[in-house]
Amino acid sequence: MFRKRHPPTGAQPGTLVIAADALAPQFRVMRYKPSSLHEQDVGRYSDLSKSLSDDTVSWIDVQGLGDEVALRSIASQFHMHPLALEDVVNVPQRPKLERFDDQLLIILRMTRPPKGRRFDSEQISIVVGPNYVITLQEKYGDVFNPVRARIRQGGPIFRSSGTAYLVYALLDAVIDGYYPLLESYGHSMDELEETITTNPQPAALTQLHRLRKDFSSMRRAIWPVREVISELARDETPLITERARQHLRDCQDHCVQIIDVVEIFREMASSLMDLHLSTLANKQNEVMKTLTIMASVFIPLTFIAGIYGMNFENMPELGVAWAYPAVLGLMAFLGALMMALFWFNGWLGGAKKEE
Amino acid sequence: MFRKRHPPTGAQPGTLVIAADALAPQFRVMRYKPSSLHEQDVGRYSDLSKSLSDDTVSWIDVQGLGDEVALRSIASQFHMHPLALEDVVNVPQRPKLERFDDQLLIILRMTRPPKGRRFDSEQISIVVGPNYVITLQEKYGDVFNPVRARIRQGGPIFRSSGTAYLVYALLDAVIDGYYPLLESYGHSMDELEETITTNPQPAALTQLHRLRKDFSSMRRAIWPVREVISELARDETPLITERARQHLRDCQDHCVQIIDVVEIFREMASSLMDLHLSTLANKQNEVMKTLTIMASVFIPLTFIAGIYGMNFENMPELGVAWAYPAVLGLMAFLGALMMALFWFNGWLGGAKKEE
Amino acid sequence: MFRKRHPPTGAQPGTLVIAADALAPQFRVMRYKPSSLHEQDVGRYSDLSKSLSDDTVSWIDVQGLGDEVALRSIASQFHMHPLALEDVVNVPQRPKLERFDDQLLIILRMTRPPKGRRFDSEQISIVVGPNYVITLQEKYGDVFNPVRARIRQGGPIFRSSGTAYLVYALLDAVIDGYYPLLESYGHSMDELEETITTNPQPAALTQLHRLRKDFSSMRRAIWPVREVISELARDETPLITERARQHLRDCQDHCVQIIDVVEIFREMASSLMDLHLSTLANKQNEVMKTLTIMASVFIPLTFIAGIYGMNFENMPELGVAWAYPAVLGLMAFLGALMMALFWFNGWLGGAKKEE
Amino acid sequence: MFRKRHPPTGAQPGTLVIAADALAPQFRVMRYKPSSLHEQDVGRYSDLSKSLSDDTVSWIDVQGLGDEVALRSIASQFHMHPLALEDVVNVPQRPKLERFDDQLLIILRMTRPPKGRRFDSEQISIVVGPNYVITLQEKYGDVFNPVRARIRQGGPIFRSSGTAYLVYALLDAVIDGYYPLLESYGHSMDELEETITTNPQPAALTQLHRLRKDFSSMRRAIWPVREVISELARDETPLITERARQHLRDCQDHCVQIIDVVEIFREMASSLMDLHLSTLANKQNEVMKTLTIMASVFIPLTFIAGIYGMNFENMPELGVAWAYPAVLGLMAFLGALMMALFWFNGWLGGAKKEE
Amino acid sequence: MFRKRHPPTGAQPGTLVIAADALAPQFRVMRYKPSSLHEQDVGRYSDLSKSLSDDTVSWIDVQGLGDEVALRSIASQFHMHPLALEDVVNVPQRPKLERFDDQLLIILRMTRPPKGRRFDSEQISIVVGPNYVITLQEKYGDVFNPVRARIRQGGPIFRSSGTAYLVYALLDAVIDGYYPLLESYGHSMDELEETITTNPQPAALTQLHRLRKDFSSMRRAIWPVREVISELARDETPLITERARQHLRDCQDHCVQIIDVVEIFREMASSLMDLHLSTLANKQNEVMKTLTIMASVFIPLTFIAGIYGMNFENMPELGVAWAYPAVLGLMAFLGALMMALFWFNGWLGGAKKEE
């Protein structure tokens, strides 16, 4: 996840690296003011900036980054800095907030539907201008449907609160997207704990290692977001209204809470690894004890049987009538003695508390 | 504990998520001034704000958050911000201090009677206004009975010191609630240490893992409280009087002390895990030595017996009269030799200091 | 050590918790100016404040905190804040510096003569006023005898330097009390290292765990002291003279040095735990090799003897005259072969360097 | 890599330490303005400063530091501080930014083509003046070819943006050089994980240890770069233009991203070590179980066979006709019983889930 | 190393603790100005301050601290603060910078020739006045010979740059003294890695533990030096000239580099400990496999031989002519089968990749 699709070393800044299998961009525009909403799937990208107006907010949603001409056209229509465009296209970048003259660029990692419980995410770039917001992402599909629904509903607050509120809503949706993921990881951890305690299997180990990897990735994805939102809430820029700042602080609390949970998961994963090792050592101890008991009881007895199996001519005991039962008795006694010793040492679950 | 009951991703801020089995709210009001105390279980929540007056302090205690209509009514009576109400209801939130125009919102984790020694806690939200304090919590029962007792007693300080002193008393009660818990954990740790040193059992391991989980949770619950109180003591707000600040600093000392103890517990738990592994390895070494001694002594002897149990016709020794006692003697000598070697190597608790 | 004797949850601030077996307080007063010294064991505590005067320094030393009436009397004579008295009595508190209007309260942990090399300490509270210093502690006996000796000697500096210098001398004595302790721990660590390297015993493990516990406690006891002294040296209060500040900085250096040593001890303890585990694993490897060599050499030979001990009628080898010596020779050869293989694998301390 | 080629202890500052096998310096100059480019391999180093002019940027590229006379000549032509020259020659230095009156000295670590996947790097020193940039490095070959290509292409931005932009381009090339390396390490880690999970070999361990070493080195090489660039971007110096600052911030983002990846690698390496230990313990458990099952099943049976191989005259069972099949049956039953017990204990992959 | 020779607890500040076997002080003075140098071994210490003059720099070098009278005389001649003298004599102190009215006291740890590769160091105290520098140390011999050589050489810079430059030269010599040490540790680590990978011995473990101890000590010795130099370079004192500040920053870079290397060593030592444990576990696994293979192959065969060694009268197989070769064949088949199974499980280095 953290391998950057980077331009050739030392290339000109602003060089875009577009993979051969990149998806063709789809454009969707929502333009709204308190009294109206205009929603449109746009085919031609060359007129996107023309329909901006001061009393509406335009949300231009670009999914798929596979067409350099289109991307450069958008960048020039909205006066994006070449480095901003590079950050948008050459994913993944670290989550960050970049300030330009009359624009903000916010880069975040948005969760995607998990594949087989693994953490999956992609970069979402949000370009914020005075009366427009552009979101750009590589793949189709996002976590913003609830935001769209709220715009359509046309609640009094949303449509009259400008771009700042839209930005907040998008950030909030991205951050809320982590909660179901955390829940799923919580279940995985509980199951693993169960498995490891009762029946430590190699498979559990590998799964634990994968979880640790995911937690590492999540941590790196969510930590900088805290800073991004905090900067946004403190920023002097007129693009963020006072009202939105209050909401952003709430958003930041959620972000910190997610960080907390990820940290707890990391600690637990490390504790589980210890638990696994100890459980294994315990099991091995059991196995060793079994072996030792069996061997220690029977090896001496077999030795005795071996003695009387020797073929010396002069072995007077062999002729004694009660010798056989006597030897059998001796064997039984020795076996019992060994077992008693082991019991006394606590190997059979008895005695030996005082060590 | 840290799984947030979160609204659907991207929902409108202020959306309340109320579980189906949430408890119906119970309202209790204590209204006091130096000369009088009015205490009441309130059935109708719509008049709560009417009885406020400037020379009394009203403590409105809400237990159970299962009625959205009631909660919204209270929020509007006391002009709570929608995000404040969301933080109160969509538990758990991270402990924090939120400032609004003429209100403070304090969110803490309050310990609950432990279930089988496990750390249990719930969110307590404290809304502080000029002449009222509202506490809201999800379940019935709290740690505030001593505070109530002190109000009823009517000591000269308490009733004449305004809301700030009441807030301090509540915070103090919440923080003091951690002490018995720590004591109980201290006992658990001592017992575990005893168990692990004498008789390392798988059960001890699992318990240790659970304790580490609890310590992680406690740490996350109590760390931010320090910051909350420190902010409160430094804050410029007129809601907190100079006198209360001195008390809050005392409160903060207690909080730091609890953090200290939790950190020590965490270190000890980790040291205990090491101790467990080492004790196990020691025990396994004992078992292995026993096995090796038994096997090494008897396997060669059995081999000798096996030789003279062979049926070759031409084995002249077999006919010699003193051969049998001689072989027995050889066996005894070899056995003694092996034991001596083991003793010399220190496996039997003797010699071999100089390695 | 860190379990606070805490008042019932939510009790009124200032509530004193006095154990049933608390010692009765003993009062000793030293009142000095450059030209005179008045030293006295006081029976009645009610007149303590009367003999204060502006040109003398009074050191009131209270040992034993078992009498609430006496304590409250002193507090009121010297105008101590109720929270200050609570911090003095409800031990242990975290080391801290508390500022009141014309008083400072310094709380430290003073070492006590170690019991069987374990870290033992108690809280010493120092109340500093313009012309008096009150020290309060729970048990009898302290580390201040050298300070008393210096006052009696009447060196020109001490008696003419006011309360600030006395406070410095007390702090210095408390901090110097840690050095012999560190030395004793250093010896323990060296012994443990010796034991663990040569002969890893379960007892060493338990001792190591105890040491780690002690180091944890010491760390928590001494860390905050650094901050206390640093605050004292920076403080604007007229109670601390410029001259005393220079001495306090020296004191702080010692404190930091103690912290350094404790940190080194902690690292070493953790390294010793690793060493123990590795040494054990090494020993176990030795044991396993012995077992494997014995078993691998003799088990095949015993099998051969077993074959010729079978009673089949048609075993032509049995009748051959040289068969017996031939089989014995084969056995010797096989045994030697096995030993050679083990030697070549480096299990007997030979060959096999090239792996 | 981190062993400094240091002058004799206490030598005069500015002493240069030149190894006997140091490469002879090669000088290459690129001098450009928007309208022209002059590129030259220079043989005589004594005239380098003469061709500077205010409207061109001169990039003097020195590869090989084996000629003290040449180095001192350059230093005096460009008025370099003696300590600056020492830092350039006595490699390796820590990455840093040093400010002199009208010069900046930037020291970085530049990756070199990896040798067998190991991290290899060398120091690159960049001296920045008003109209010249000098790069100095020890070996031949660098990562700057793309920069040279862009200068030759003569894009409008590059050639007209002064030394600041050239410095940015060099820094960017150095930092981009880390990406292919990280990718290669990523592959190594994936392979190692595969190996360790399926077939933990000693070789994997050694490789893991080497990787950890490399990550440690990379971390120390890249961490301070972040600070260098950040200082450069914040610096007041007129040598860095406002435009270049924006680019430097982008450069810093890449640097932080590399740090992030290195940190993740470090965590993963440590988790892989745990995984290795656990996998080994698991395998050992399997081996032990096999041994224990074999021994526990056959040792008692062999003992029974031993009994009836004894040669006592009075063993009535021997004469009973059905005794032999009965004993064989008993043996079969006992063997089956043991196997059933092991199966029930879960050692054969069955039962025993409820522990 | 870190055990302070401390005065009796609570002794008067300024008390000097001089060991019985402390060396007698030797005094050497170098007094220089650009045009002249006066060098002298001084017998009488009482006139040291008389020969100071404003246009010369006097370096008074005191080796051996065994004479309290001499030390006090020097302290009074140069107006040293009693606490300064205490810090000089009661070694070791933590490295620090102490400011007095017109003096600086710098305390550092100077490396000494290593004893058998162990880190050895002693305290060097540098007292800096307007026209003199006093260095004091406990033992004879130091790292300052190159500094003396440079003074004698009389380079134009050194002799005309006042005390500040001399102080810089001394600090630089102390810090450079760490480099050969680091190199030697680097070799030790490489050798240890070699040993641990090929042939993990208990001796390697003990050596590793000692190295960790040394790294801990070095870290504590060098960390505070960074702060000392940085304070010195930032300080407002007229004793340090602007020119010396530039040199001190260079010195600080070296100090940070040493810290970096020590940190890498610490990480590597910890990784080596892991490597050791894993290598051991690998070896043990090999041993266990050998044992298990031997036992599993031969124990069943021995059992079969045991059966036909029983003496039952009615064992019809015994009379069958081809029974003996048939049993031998069965044994060979079973043995081969076991080996095949082990091979298939990958225990013999074959198959079993697919797990």
Residues in chain A with CB shorter than 8 Å from the CB of B103 are none
8 Å CB contact between C216 and B264: yes
Contact B310 C327 (CB under 8 A): yes
Specify the DSSP class assigned to residue B127.
E
| E199 contacts C346? CB cut-off 8 A | yes
Query: Mind listing the pLDDT tens digit for each residue in D275-334?
Result: 888 888 888 888 888 889 988 899 999 999 999 999 988 888 888 888 999 999 999 999
Mean pLDDT within C301-305: 92
Cross-chain CB nearest to D198 (options E144, E282, E353) = E353
**CA proximity to A278, closest of B209, E290, D149, E122:** B209
Among candidate residues E251, E263, E261, the one with its CA nearest the CA of residue E226? E251
Measure the CA–CA gap between A307 and B328, rounded to whole angstroms.
8
> What pLDDT digit, counting tens, does each position of B167-222 carry?
999 999 999 888 888 888 888 899 999 888 887 777 888 889 989 988 988 898 89
Length of chain B: 355
Instruction: Flag whether pLDDT at E2 surpasses 60.
Output: no
The Cα of E296 is separated from the nearest Cα of chain C by a number of Å equal to 10
CA angle E25, E29, E30 (to 5 degrees): 150
Contacts with A315 from chain D: Cβ below 8 Å: 311
Angle subtended by helix axes D202-234 and E242-307, to nearest 10: 160
Q: Mean pLDDT across the stretch C342-352?
A: 71
pLDDT digits (tens, 9 = 90+) for E208-259: 998 998 898 889 889 999 999 999 988 777 888 888 888 898 889 889 989 9
Contacts of D176 in chain A (CB under 8 A): 6-7, 9-11
Structure tokens at D36: 């022209």
Task: Work out the mean pLDDT of chain D and round it to a whole number.
Answer: 87
Contact E12 C155 (CB under 8 A): yes
CB-count exposure of residue C236 (10 Å: 0-12, 13-18, 19+): exposed
Q: What is the model's pTM?
A: 0.84
CA distance B80 to B134: 11
- At E117, the pLDDT band (50, 70, 90 cuts) reads low
φ/ψ of D118, rounded to 5, equals: -85, 150
Q: Is the separation of the CB atoms in C311 and C345 below 8 Å?
A: no
Looking at beta carbons, which residues of chain E come within 8 Å of D217? 264
List, in sequence order, every beta strand (DSSP E) within chain D. Answer: 26-33, 36-42, 57-63, 96-99, 104-111, 121-128, 132-137
What's the confidence (pLDDT) of residue B202? 79
As a whole number of Å, the CA-based R_g of chain E is: 35
Task: Retrieve residue D84's tokens.
Answer: 């600056």
- Taking an 8 Å cut-off on Cβ atoms, the answer to whether C216 and B147 are in contact is no
Those of residues 5-64 in D touching chain E at CB distance below 8 A are: 6-13
Quickly state the pLDDT bin for A304 (edges 50, 70, 90).
Answer: very high
- Whether the CB of C327 is below 8 Å from some CB of chain B: the reply is yes
The Cα D53–Cα D76 span in angstroms is: 18
Residue D74 reports pLDDT greater than 60: yes
pLDDT tier for residue B72 given thresholds of 50, 70 and 90:
very high
Alpha helices (H) in chain C, listed in sequence order: 68-77, 82-89, 145-153, 156-159, 162-176, 178-198, 202-234, 242-307, 323-344
User: Averaging pLDDT over each range in A286-295, B154-163, D193-202, which range is the top one?
Assistant: A286-295
> What's the pLDDT at A55?
87
Residue B115 pLDDT class (50, 70, 90 cuts)? low
**pLDDT, position E353:** 45
Q: How far apart are CA A8 and CA A15, in angstroms?
A: 9
Q: What are the tokens at D324?
A: 């032999």
Give the per-residue pLDDT at E1: 45
Nearest to D143 among A10, A94, A217 (CB): A10
Q: Are the beta carbons of D9 and E257 separated by less than 8 Å?
A: no
C-alpha D216: how far from chain center:
7
Q: What is the tens place of the pLDDT at every residue in E288-307? A: 888 899 888 999 999 999 99
Mean pLDDT of E67-72: 91
Strands A57-63 and A132-137: parallel
In this complex, the chains that touch E, judged by 3 or more CB pairs closer than 8 A, are C, D
Question: Are residues B9 and A302, on separate chains, in Cβ contact within 8 Å?
Answer: no
CB contact under 8 A, A206 and D197: yes
Cis bond before residue A92 (omega within 30° of 0):
yes
What is the model's pLDDT at position C117?
64
The pLDDT value given to residue D200: 78
User: And the tokens for E256?
Assistant: 């940070």
Q: Which residues of D touch A301 (CB under 8 A)?
A: 303, 306
Mean model confidence pLDDT for chain A: 87
B278 touches chain A (CB under 8 A): no
Instruction: Answer whether residue D142 shows pLDDT above 50.
Output: yes
Q: How confident is the model at residue D354 (pLDDT cuts 50, 70, 90)?
A: very low
Helix or strand holding residue A326 (H, E): helix A323-344
Strands B104-111 and B26-33, sheet pairing: unpaired
Cβ contacts of A296 on chain B, cutoff 8 Å: 290-291, 294
Across the range D74-82, mean pLDDT stands at 92
Q: Note whether B205 contacts A: Cβ–Cβ < 8 A.
A: yes
Residue among C158, C281, C296 minimizing CB distance to E291 = C296
- What residues of chain D lie within 8 A of the CB of E195, using their CB? none
Mark yes or no for CB contact D290/E296 under 8 Å.
Answer: yes
Task: Tell me which residue has tokens 């120092």.
Answer: C126
Continuous segment of H or E residues that includes residue A127: strand A121-128
- Residue C120: partners with Cβ closer than 8 Å, 6 or more residues away: C111, C112, C113, C114
d(CA C211, CA C205): 10
B313 interfacial to chain C (CB closer than 8 Å)? yes
Which are the contacts of E46, defined by CB distance < 8 A and separation ≥ 6? E73, E77
> What's residue A1's pLDDT?
45
Torsions phi, psi for D127 (to 5 deg)? -105, 125
Q: Which residue of D has its CA nearest to E246?
A: D83
- Choose among D104, D65, D113: nearest CA to D88: D65
Model confidence at A57: pLDDT above 90: yes
- The neighbour count for residue D270, using CB atoms within 10 Å, is 18
* Nearest chain B CA: its distance from A46 CA (Å): 31
Q: What DSSP letter does each residue of C9-70 carry, written as one string? A: TTPPTT-----TTPPPPEEEEEEEETTEEEEEEES--TTTTTT--TTSEEEEEEE----HHH
User: D with E: how many residue pairs have Cβ under 8 Å apart?
Assistant: 175
Residues of D in contact with A3 (CB under 8 A): 182-183, 186, 261
Residue type for B149, please? Answer: A
Taken in order D315, D318, D320, D324, the sign of the CA dihedral is positive
pLDDT, tens only, B137-165: 999 988 898 889 888 887 777 888 889 99
Name the neighbours of C, counting chains with at least 3 Cβ pairs within 8 A. Answer: B, E
Q: Determine the 3-state secondary structure of E25 from DSSP.
A: coil
Please answer whether residues A313 and A332 qualify as being in contact, where contact means their C-beta atoms are separated by less than 8 angstroms. Answer: no
Residue in A94, A273, A331 closest to D253 by CB:
A94
Tell me: pLDDT of A136 over 50: yes
State whether residue E351 sits within 8 Å of chain C by CB. no
Cβ–Cβ below 8 Å for C9 and B146: yes
User: What is the rounded average pLDDT of the residues B37-46?
Assistant: 86
Distance between CA D167 and CA D57 in Å, rounded?
A: 11
User: For an interface test with D, which of A107, A109, A209 has the most D Cβ atoms less than 10 Å from its Cβ?
Assistant: A209
Q: Do residue E282 and residue D309 have CB atoms under 8 angstroms apart?
A: no
pLDDT tops 80 at residue B351: no
Estimate the crossing angle of helix C202-234 against helix C178-198, to 10 degrees: 150
Q: Cα C142–C147–C153 angle (5° rounding)?
A: 140
Cβ-defined contact of A9 to D347 (cutoff 8 Å): no
Checking if the pLDDT of E10 tops 70, the result is no
In this predicted structure, what is the pLDDT of residue E244?
A: 86
C-beta atoms of D10 and E261 within 8 A? no
Which residues, other chains included, contact C325 with Cβ-Cβ below 8 Å and sequence gap of 6+? none
Determine whether the interchain pair D294/E295 forms a contact, defined as Cβ–Cβ distance below 8 Å: yes
- Give the residue from A35, A58, A61, A202 showing the smallest Cα distance to A130: A58
CB under 8 Å to D35, separation ≥6 — which residues? none
The answer to whether D270 contacts chain A (CB < 8 Å) is: no
Nearest beta carbon to residue E308 from set C150, C278, C311: C311
Other Cβ atoms closer than 10 A to B264: 21
Phi/psi of residue D345, nearest 5 degrees: -80, 0
* Amino acid residing at D260: D
* Count of residues in chain E: 355
Residue-wise pLDDT for A198-222, tens only, equals 877 778 888 899 899 889 888 988 9
Cα atoms in the 13 Å half-sphere on the side-chain side of D23: 12
Classify each residue of E244-265 as buried b or exposed e, where b means 16 or more C-beta atoms within 10 Å of its C-beta. Answer: bebbbbbbbbbbbbbbbbbbbb
- Where do the H-state alpha helices sit in chain E? 68-77, 82-89, 145-153, 156-159, 162-176, 178-198, 202-234, 242-307, 323-344
On chain A, the residues whose CB falls within 8 A of the CB of D337 are none
Asked if B176 and C6 touch (Cβ cutoff 8 Å), the reply is yes
Q: Which two tokens stand for residue D6?
A: 């240091």
Q: What is the pLDDT of residue A328?
A: 93
- pLDDT value at position D319? 87
CA distances to A223, A303, B74, B223, D70 from B61, rounded to whole Å, are 37, 81, 12, 26, 84
Query: Which letter, b or e, does each residue of D183-214 get, where b requires 16 or more Cβ atoms within 10 Å of its Cβ?
Result: eebbebbeebbebbbbebebebbbbbbbbbbb
